[in-house]
Amino acid sequence: MVGIVAARKLSIRGGMSRIRWWHRIDLGGGIVTPGADNSPEKLKTLHMPHDLRGWTVLDVGAWDGFFSFEAERRGAKKVLATDSYCWEGKGKAAKDGFLFARKVLGSNVKDKKIDVLDLSPKTVGVYDLVLFLGVLYHMRDPMLALEKVSSVTKKMLILETFTDLNDVRRPAAAFYPGGELEGDKTNWWGPNQAAVEGMLKAVGFKRLEKVYEHPPYFRLGRAAKMQLTGKGSFFTAIKHGRVVYHAWK
């Protein structure tokens, strides 16, 4: 029995080593995928309901599927993971991690390759909880993207996004036509919090709650690091942050 367990762990580690991971997923037996994203720490900032029994969940931009599998672990009766850019193998991404983790975990999470702008009740259905994490600022048309996300949200949306211009009180957004934001040409917009709130209300969410934002000390440390490493201006980076909103219909 011990030999069988050891052989399985060896097989999992071997398969895992051939994949470029983004999420850190606990596959059991002390094996965690070596993702660049500290997914368990990000999960804490989302304040996702602990008990999702009876809920249906849609994870938009699922990538390796950490949050899809977490929703299932919390009891969701149906979870659909969707992606297009990452699962098409563009940039440094791929679908291999999701498929591998789902198999190892014995998960029943379903998947559908579909672009955010193609989401609709007809194409994917309507879900009690929609996760839209780290995607908004990658959209060339963020307002249209939120309209699509709203159309498939029955009850609650959890939105996590990068923000910019946080020193501006009125709704505003920074536009990055090239690689201005950390050299990533897939980063298009940096809305401030007022803009995020305004867009959410404009697409039909009646109640909003900001459940997390980067604390000042985090933003200060990040800005100093950007300046020291030559990756950006301190005074530009200090206006950056990340925020999590819960939005209800």
Which pLDDT belongs to residue 110?
Answer: 98
How far apart are alpha carbons 88 and 151 in whole angstroms?
24
Which H helix or E strand runs over 27? strand 26-28
- pLDDT greater than 60 at residue 2: no
User: How sure is the predictor about 16, in pLDDT bands with cuts at 50, 70 and 90?
Assistant: confident
Q: Dihedrals φ, ψ of 219, to 5°?
A: -65, -40
Pair type for strands 56-60 and 78-83: parallel
Q: Which residue has the higher pLDDT, 176 or 11?
A: 176
Q: Phi first, then psi: give them for residue 185, nearest 5 degrees.
A: -75, -5
**Rounded distance, CA 30 to CA 2, Å?**
15
pLDDT at residue 1 is higher than 70: no
pLDDT cut 90: percent of the chain above it: 74
- Average pLDDT along the chain: 91
pLDDT of residue 6: 67
Q: What pLDDT is attached to residue 43?
A: 98
> What is the per-residue pLDDT across 70-113, written as a single tens digit (0 to 9) for each?
999 999 999 999 999 999 987 778 999 999 999 999 999 999 99
What pTM value is reported for the model?
0.93
Contact 142, 189 (CB under 8 A): yes
What pLDDT shows up at residue 8?
Answer: 75
- Which has more confidence, 192 or 4? 192
pLDDT digits (tens, 9 = 90+) for 196-227: 999 999 999 999 999 999 877 667 667 667 66
Distance CA 86, CA 64 (A): 9
Choose the weakest-confidence range: 3-17, 96-110, 115-129, 143-157. Answer: 3-17
Domains of the chain: 37-248 (3.40.50.150)
Confidence of residue 64 (pLDDT cuts 50, 70, 90): very high
DSSP 102-159: HHHHT---EEEE--GGG--TTTT--EEEEEEES-GGG-SSHHHHHHHHHHTEEEEEEE
pLDDT, position 223: 61
pLDDT at 179: 74
CA dihedral for 215, 216, 221, 222, sign (positive or negative): positive
Q: Does residue 242 carry a pLDDT above 80?
A: yes
Least confident range of 51-60, 142-151, 210-219: 210-219
Location of structure tokens 């209300």 = 201
